[in-house]
């Protein structure tokens, strides 16, 4: 797996959808909607975007007379998600380089050498 950011998955709502789908074989539309506190139309739009990219497979059917929609990650979607997560993990695991600021400029000190207030 290659650690690589995926702009399509990076959007917060799509990242949340894909992360839920990564933990399941199939997920019901209602479950995704309720878990993510999205409207039907917002979830539908995001799922359609992911489906168009080949990351999600949508299954529509009936349970009795009621329509039922569910979604799952495709192999490409799972690979993209895992690569995106790996890229994020690589980023946060990197040691931080702290560069001191030049004296007298933006030192974070108030007029009398006291730290600024945290409002």
For the stretch 29-51, pLDDT in tens is 999 999 999 999 999 999 999 99
Q: Kindly indicate the confidence band of residue 115, based on its pLDDT and cuts at 50, 70 and 90.
A: low
For the stretch 52-67, pLDDT in tens is 999 999 999 998 999 9
Q: Are 77 and 55 in contact (CB under 8 A)?
A: yes
Residue 42 falls inside a structural domain? yes
d(CA 70, CA 72): 7
d(CA 7, CA 51): 15
Residue 69 falls inside a structural domain? yes
Can you give the pLDDT at residue 7? Answer: 95
Residue 44 falls inside a structural domain? yes
CATH code, domain carrying 50: 1.10.10.10
Residue 114 falls inside a structural domain? no
Domain that holds residue 35: 7-91
Residue with the bigger pLDDT between 5 and 111: it is 5
Residue 105 falls inside a structural domain? no
Can you give the pLDDT at residue 114? Answer: 54
Tell me: pLDDT of 11 over 80.
Answer: yes
Q: Kindly indicate the confidence band of residue 95, based on its pLDDT and cuts at 50, 70 and 90.
A: confident
Give residue 37's region: left, alpha or beta (phi > 0; psi -120 to 50): left
Can you give the pLDDT at residue 1? Answer: 76
Residue 104 falls inside a structural domain? no
Residue with the bigger pLDDT between 16 and 92: it is 16
Percent of the chain with pLDDT over 90: 70
Residue 53 falls inside a structural domain? yes
Q: How many domains does the chain have?
A: 1
Residue with the bigger pLDDT between 113 and 44: it is 44
Residue 24 falls inside a structural domain? yes
d(CA 100, CA 10): 31
């Amino acid at each position: 797996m290659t650690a690589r950011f995926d702009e399509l998955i990076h959007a917060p709502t799509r990242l949340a959808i894909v992360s839920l789908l990564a933990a399941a074989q199939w997920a019901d539309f209602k479950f995704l909607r309720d878990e993510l506190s999205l409207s039907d139309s917002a979830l539908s739009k995001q799922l359609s975007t992911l489906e168009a990219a080949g990351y999600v497979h949508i299954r529509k059917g009936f349970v009795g007379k009621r329509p039922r929609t569910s979604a799952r990650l495709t192999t490409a979607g799972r690979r993209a998600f895992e690569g995106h997560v790996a890229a994020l993990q690589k980023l946060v695991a990197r040691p931080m380089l702290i560069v001191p600021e030049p004296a007298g400029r933006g030192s974070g000190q108030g007029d009398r050498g006291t730290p600024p207030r945290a409002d």
